[in-house]
């Protein structure tokens, strides 16, 4: 597990910055809830009368007066986007950075198989994403306890679980791309995260584009759907898992035989 340890050490600053930022923002959102709750009538009216914008964020089906409704929208924006960016950035550079930073020659001339290198790097990504989600989950719990609200365990588990799966899926896709790239991976990672986010917004606005919900991982993270159904959409998650595994398989197939520059 030498490479896992090495990757965790190399990525620790990025991990700390992203985790602290998302955790702090999410906590602030929760701390703002008591104030929002008092003005909820006006807020609900406002949010439900913004046409396409309202449906894009699922606010037509969520009650901002409840912690779960409020948290589903805020969580979607902060943990959804922030987590997606971190997962994409972390994974998309994991293999390509060795060639970009010209450290591949050092790593690959040591007696360690490429299969093992890919596996250990993948484990390092999973550990970082999991650790980030645990810390953020703890931040949310702490903030909810601090404002004296009853913790909506089921909703909290479902929302955080969905966003964790989203990050894993994005990481799988970006990890696969990372094996093909030699430089310029960061822009591609961020681009993919933004793309799948907007695909979901489009699917929310236009009924004709509803199928996009089955392509983008944000499709199974829709707070309104999760809270309404009280569960995650198994079909969408299965499709996401297949896409994720395809990305990981592509990484193994490509990197195992790649000519290293």
- Residues at the interface with another protein (CB under 8 A): 2-3, 6, 10, 101-113, 257, 259-260
Closer to another protein by CB, 26 or 104: give it: 104
CB of 251 to another protein, least distance (A): 18
Minimum Å gap between C-beta 109 and another protein is: 4
Measured from the CB atom, is 230 or 257 closer to another protein?
Answer: 257
State how far the Cα of 12 lies from the Cα of 51, in Å rounded to an integer.
Answer: 42
* Nearest residue (CB) to another protein, 109 versus 234: 109
* CB closer to another protein, 29 vs 94: 94
Question: Looking at beta carbons only, is 63 or 119 nearer to another protein?
Answer: 119
For residues 159-171, b (16+ Cβ closer than 10 Å) or e, as one string? Answer: bbbbbbbbbbbbb
The least CB distance from residue 10 to another protein, in Å, is 6
Q: Are 170 and 83 in contact (CB under 8 A)?
A: no
- The nearest distance, CB 5 to another protein, in angstroms, is 8
**Is 48 or 119 the residue whose CB approaches another protein more closely?**
119
CB of 250 to another protein, least distance (A): 18
Count of CB atoms situated within 10 Å of the CB of 120: 17
Cβ–Cβ contacts within 10 Å for residue 240, how many? 26
CB of 97 to another protein, least distance (A): 10
């Amino acid at each position: 597990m030498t490479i896992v340890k090495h990757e965790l050490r190399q990525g620790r600053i990025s991990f700390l910055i992203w985790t602290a930022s998302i955790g702090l923002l999410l906590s602030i959102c929760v701390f703002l809830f008591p104030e929002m709750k008092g003005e909820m009538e006006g807020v609900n009216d406002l949010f439900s009368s913004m046409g396409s914008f309202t449906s894009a964020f699922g606010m037509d089906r969520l009650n901002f007066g409840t912690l779960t409704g409020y948290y589903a929208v805020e969580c979607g924006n902060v943990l959804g986007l922030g987590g997606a960016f971190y997962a994409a950035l972390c994974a998309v550079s994991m293999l390509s950075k060795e060639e970009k930073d010209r450290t591949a020659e050092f790593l690959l001339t040591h007696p360690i198989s490429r299969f093992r290198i890919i596996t250990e790097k993948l484990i390092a990504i999973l550990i970082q994403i999991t650790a980030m989600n645990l810390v953020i989950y703890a931040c949310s719990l702490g903030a909810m306890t601090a404002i004296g609200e009853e913790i909506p365990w089921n909703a909290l588990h479902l929302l955080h679980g969905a966003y964790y799966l989203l990050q894993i899926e994005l990481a799988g896709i970006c990890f696969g791309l990372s094996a093909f790239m030699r430089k310029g991976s960061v822009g591609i990672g961020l681009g993919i995260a933004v793309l799948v986010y907007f695909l979901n917004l489009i699917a929310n606005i236009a009924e004709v584009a509803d199928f996009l919900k089955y392509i983008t991982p944000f499709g199974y993270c829709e707070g309104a759907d999760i809270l309404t159904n009280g569960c995650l959409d198994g079909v969408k998650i299965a499709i996401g898992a297949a896409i994720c595994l395809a990305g990981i398989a592509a990484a193994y197939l490509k990197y195992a035989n790649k000519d290293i520059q």
